[in-house]
Amino acid sequence: MVEVKLHDIGEGMTEGEVIQYFVKVGDVVQVDQPLVEVQTDKMVAELPSPVSGKVKNIVVDHGNVVSVGTTLLVLEAKDMKTEQPVMEAVEETVLVKEESVFEQIEARAPKHEKRFVMAAPYTRKIAREFSVDIEKIIGTGPHGRITVKDVYDYVKKRDQVPTSLEVPQASSNDSQGQTKIEHERQTRKGRNDLIQDHQKPEVIPFRGRRKQIAKKMTQSLFTIPHVTHFEEADLTELLAYRNELKEMDIHISAAAFFIKAITLALKQYPIFNAKLDEKNEVIYLEKEYNIGIATDTEDGLIVPVIHHADRLSVRQIHDQLKTLTKKAQEGRLEPAEMRNGTFTISNVGPLGSIGATPIINYPETGLIAFHKTKKMPVVMENDEIKIRSMMNMSMSFDHRVADGAVAVAFTNRFKQLIENPKLWSIELA
């Protein structure tokens, strides 16, 4: 018995859907006869019979999605010795190709009788594209079947023939032949370069922090119905205020102002400082304002948390932010410094980002990203055009917990605060 399995047809597939069978139980089939049509994420393909024989059993019904390696149907093979390569002889006779230079050299060898060849139509197509006589290839597949890899390996060896033996000298009266030979050489070189490009990929272990990040992101994205609201804020006054502070030898990052302003806005819109418990059908409005800071490190994304940000001054937030960021970069964060966040910010502006749709840090309700600040002409209220320092923002929120209008109101409140820092930064100390 011969099992016909769903195999990787060269597209890196992992599964496929059985569309239709071209045969039924009891049918007699010939080698390379199409048996079944499958749909992958990239293409539709026909799987041919590896042997001649009879269909004994169909294992997987059409319409099912199965993994690579799954047996689709079972054949009862005929004695391979009785096979006559009629189809092969017809195909090789009809599909006559111009002889390559390599084949001109091989033509000097004694002629041999045609042998029985097992190869899928796709494999034969590849062989024809490289001007290869498929009979000359030794198959490494089941029952000596020739695979695509066998064709590539053969072409590699063929094209390693020394140039002095590979190209016979053309006579002075055969400039056309010389041009043809040169074209053949360049064509084969290009094909060989193409084969060389098919190198094995580098394998990176998918474990540790990367795997944990993937798990958390997947959980968040497929649990929370995300909606992202885009807004922009004028940071001209904030940047000017920071320069004033620098002159007094007070150095405070813009991110510290962002965190403090977010905390003040959350107090007015506590629905975004909340967590949904679907099982018990309740929403918890957190009384602590613990702001997570999405931080990029060599080991991946980490979110240290500034606890009780509402109780801290802007300067204290700046100091904690500086300490936590350094510890995150050095891999020295304590577990307690990454727990119990209630809202997260992502300051990707320094990285050059101008926009994104951030993923919420589950089980929180919202996350806001601050993007690159750049100078732009802005029409002021009196229709005067001025150059202002504008920053894009994008806030993702859980639409199960809050509606879009509330998200707009929340970001508008943040804008009012961050655009007028002197009105509330009396808490600076």
Catalytic residues: 399
Name 285's bridge partners.
274
| Torsion on CA atoms 271, 272, 275, 276, rounded to nearest 10 | 60
Q: Tell me the two tokens of residue 392.
A: 């894009």
Q: Are strands 44-48 and 28-29 parallel, antiparallel or unpaired?
A: unpaired
Q: CA end-to-end span of the chain, whole Å?
A: 83
Q: How far is CA 90 from CA 81, 111, 114, in A?
A: 19, 19, 12
Q: Are strands 15-21 and 65-67 parallel, antiparallel or unpaired?
A: antiparallel
What does the alpha-carbon distance between residue 171 and residue 234 come to, in Å, rounded to a whole number? 78
With tokens 């502006």, the residue in question is: 349
Q: How far is CA 151 from CA 47, 157, 326, 398, in A?
A: 19, 10, 55, 54
With tokens 């929180």, the residue in question is: 364
What does the alpha-carbon distance between residue 77 and residue 324 come to, in Å, rounded to a whole number? 69
Q: Is the Cβ–Cβ distance between 373 and 412 less than 8 Å?
A: no
**DSSP states of 347-403:** E-GGGT-----PPP-TT-SEEEEEEEEEEEEEE-TTS-EEEEEEEEEEEEEETTT--
Residue 188 CB-density burial (10 A; 0-12 exposed, 13-18 middle, 19+ buried): buried
**DSSP states of 151-185:** HHHHHHHHTTS-HHHHSPPPPTT-HHHHHHHHHHH
With tokens 């944990």, the residue in question is: 212
Q: How far is CA 264 from CA 145, 300, 306, 391, 417, in A?
A: 71, 30, 14, 19, 8
**DSSP states of 245-278:** HHHTT----HHHHHHHHHHHHHHH-GGGSEEEET
CA angle 143, 40, 206 (to 5 degrees): 90
